Amino acid sequence: MTAEQQKLVEENVGLVYYYVYAKLKMQDEDLIQDGMVGLCVAAGRYKDADKNKFKKFAMRYISGYIKNSLNKRSKIAESLCLEQVLKKECYDGEKILQENAHCSALIESLQEELPERYKNIPDLLLDGYTQTEVASILGVPRDKEFTKK
C-alpha cells in the first residue's frame, strides 16, 4: 500500500465504524475487520484525485465486504445447525436459529437498498459465480462490472 493509499485509509476509518455501529446497529469486531479490508481494497483501487469522492467510493467496498461476511455467516449458521440437528446434537438449536434469522433479516434489509435488478447479486456471488458471470446474467456490459478496475 502506498503512502497516499495509507493516508486515505487512516482518514476514512470512521466510515467503517459508522457503517457497523450506526447503520447496522451492531457491536461486532469481526464486521469492523471485514469493513477495514473493504476500505483498504477501495484505497488500492481508487484512481480519482478528488479525495471528496473517495468516501462514496469506499462505502461501496466497505458495505460490500460486510454484507458478504454477514451472508457467509448466515449460510454457515444454517449448515451448522442443520448438521447438528441431523446428528441430534443441537442442544441450543433455538438460539442458533434465532441468530440465523437475525442475520438473514439483516441481509434482506440490506438487499432492499439495492436497485431491483441487482438484488440477487449477493446470492449469485455466494453460489460461486464470478463477477463476470454475474454481469453476463444481468446483461451488464463487461466494462461496466460491479467494481472499477
111: left (phi over 0), alpha (psi -120 to 50) or beta: alpha
Co-location of 83 and 118 in the same domain = no
Per-residue pLDDT, 11: 93
- The pLDDT-based confidence of 39 (bands split at 50, 70, 90) is very high
8 with 26, same domain? yes
Sign of CA dihedral 35, 36, 39, 41: negative
pLDDT at 83 over 80: no
Q: Would you state the pLDDT for residue 55?
A: 92
Q: In the predicted model, what is the mean pLDDT of residues 118-123?
A: 72
DSSP 103-131: HHHHHHHHHHTS-GGGTTHHHHHHTT--H
Q: Decide if pLDDT at 130 tops 70.
A: yes
Same domain, 52 and 86: yes
Statement to judge: residues 101 and 87 lie in one domain: yes
Shared domain check, 81 and 24: yes
- Residue 102's domain comprises 3-113
Residues 66 and 128 in one domain: no
Residues 106 and 132 in one domain: no
**Residue 120 vs residue 66, higher pLDDT:** 66
Of the candidates 58, 47, 49, 50, the residue with the CA atom closest to the CA atom of residue 12: 58
Same structural domain, 125 and 99: no
What value does the mean pLDDT take over residues 47-65? 89
Confidence grade of residue 149 (pLDDT, cut at 50, 70, 90): very low
132 three-state secondary structure: helix
Residue type, 21: Y
- If asked whether residues 106 and 119 sit together in one domain, one would say no
| DSSP assignment letter at 117 | G
Residue 133 shares a structural domain with residue 85 = no
Non-local (6+) Cβ contacts of 124 within 8 A are 133, 134, 137
Q: Report d(CA 134, CA 112) in Å as an integer.
A: 18
**Whether the predicted pLDDT of 148 surpasses 50:** no
Q: What is the mean pLDDT of the chain?
A: 77
> pLDDT > 70: what percent of the chain?
70
Number of C-beta neighbours around residue 94 at 10 A? 10
Q: What's residue 33's pLDDT? A: 93
Q: Which of 86, 87, 90 is nearest to 100 (CA)?
A: 90
94 shares a domain with 31: yes
Number of domains in the chain: 2
Is it the case that residue 36 has pLDDT exceeding 70? Answer: yes
Greatest CA separation for the chain? 58
Kindly report the number of other CB atoms within 10 A of residue 45's CB atom.
14
Q: What is residue 41's predicted lDDT score, i.e. its pLDDT?
A: 94
Residue 132: predicted pLDDT: 78
